[in-house]
Chain A
């Protein structure tokens, strides 16, 4: 009995692992490819606001997107950042007042940060774990179809969790990362990771010299 179970496990486990590996490679390959077919309804968006200059750049993107295509919109900001969500709220309010056909379809969510400036590396392990679990919970709950992010660290666990859902076949999201205009010569850490790990479907930089260093990135002008 025990032997049979062991034997079964020995057979099933490698199969499962190989299936997962194949799926992983497929998702990696598929992620950079444009979607086929035209979406018939609005896409559920996760918009990660990174505080300060990052938020200002992201709000310029949000202002330029077609609101009927990118809806509903879930804005996410760090728990310690009390300015960003307020800016997004003011913007969404202005849309309603200007009489655009927007039903109340904006949501505002706060997220734990992996690491605060100056935090010790030891306590960072615990807070990173907490932030990742929280990110997973948010991604499962929201099931975004589109993720907009531009750093800093807040967006990384969210993107990784969204990627894991893709591998597990629990939801598909297109991840757009727009590196901050402050990065002229080198990518930020979160940008570099999302680029190298190929988690970002489309990766934008705002300076042509940076595009030359990272050929898979797109340069389509500046946001600011």
Chain B
């Protein structure tokens, strides 16, 4: 690995409040795991959460920074080497489209927890890694980015063709 190269981990909770995730990435265990994997920076978008992570890193050189909201989250994703995200579909597909390695952390405190369905299905298809706040450190230590399969974006045309047929439009 080149000496001066920065490798940023971008953590995003979207518009939600997901303190358990912010706390997890702020823990010594996760920071140590990230350092060992060669990451140099940790940038946390904490949304509506009330837990404020420490800006100074405990050990070695992992630089930690955080903010609540920003209109340029897409830019943060683009410059990141790894994205750790909540399980919202918007954030998942945005990261996959950019071809960034992704760990989705499922919020177990949500009442209607159908969100884990999507993350687990995509993890089974090897497009991303899926974790819970308490297993994040373990997931980072065990992950092998080489096993990830690039996600091929979907296409609305087959659906539109069926709709056209139903309505009696000629197929073009």
Asked if chains A and B come from one complex, the reply is yes
Shortest distance from the beta carbon of B120 to any chain A beta carbon, whole Å: 8
Whether A43 contacts B154 in the complex (CB less than 8 A), given A182-B89, A188-B114, comes out as no
B interface SS class? helix
The answer to whether A53 touches B89 (Cβ under 8 A) is yes
The answer to whether B114 touches A221 (Cβ under 8 A) is no
How many chain A residues have a CB neighbour from B under 8 Å?
A: 40
A interface SS class? loop
Cβ of A184 under 8 Å from chain B: yes
The 4 closest A-B pairs by CB, nearest first: A222-B154, A53-B89, A64-B156, A220-B158
Cβ of B160 under 8 Å from chain A: yes
The answer to whether A53 touches B88 (Cβ under 8 A) is yes
Cβ of B138 under 8 Å from chain A: no
Cβ of A80 under 8 Å from chain B: no
Q: How far is the CA of A65 from the CA of B117 in the complex (A)?
A: 29
Not counting A60-B154, A204-B162, a sample of 6 additional A-B residue pairs whose C-beta atoms are within 8 angstroms of each other reads A63-B156, A66-B160, A220-B158, A220-B162, A221-B158, A224-B93
The answer to whether B168 touches A53 (Cβ under 8 A) is no
The residue in B160, B167, B169, B172 that gathers the most chain A C-beta atoms within 10 A of its C-beta is B167
Task: Identify 21 residue pairs between A and B in the complex whose beta-carbon atoms are under 8 Å apart, listed by A's number.
Answer: A34-B165, A38-B169, A38-B170, A53-B89, A64-B160, A65-B160, A66-B160, A66-B169, A69-B167, A181-B154, A182-B118, A184-B118, A184-B120, A202-B162, A202-B166, A218-B162, A221-B154, A221-B158, A221-B159, A223-B159, A224-B154
Cβ of B155 under 8 Å from chain A: yes
Interface string of B63-83 (1 = CB under 8 A from A): 000000000000000000000
Cβ of A169 under 8 Å from chain B: no
Whether A34 contacts B154 in the complex (CB less than 8 A), given A61-B159, A64-B160, comes out as no
The answer to whether B159 touches A39 (Cβ under 8 A) is no
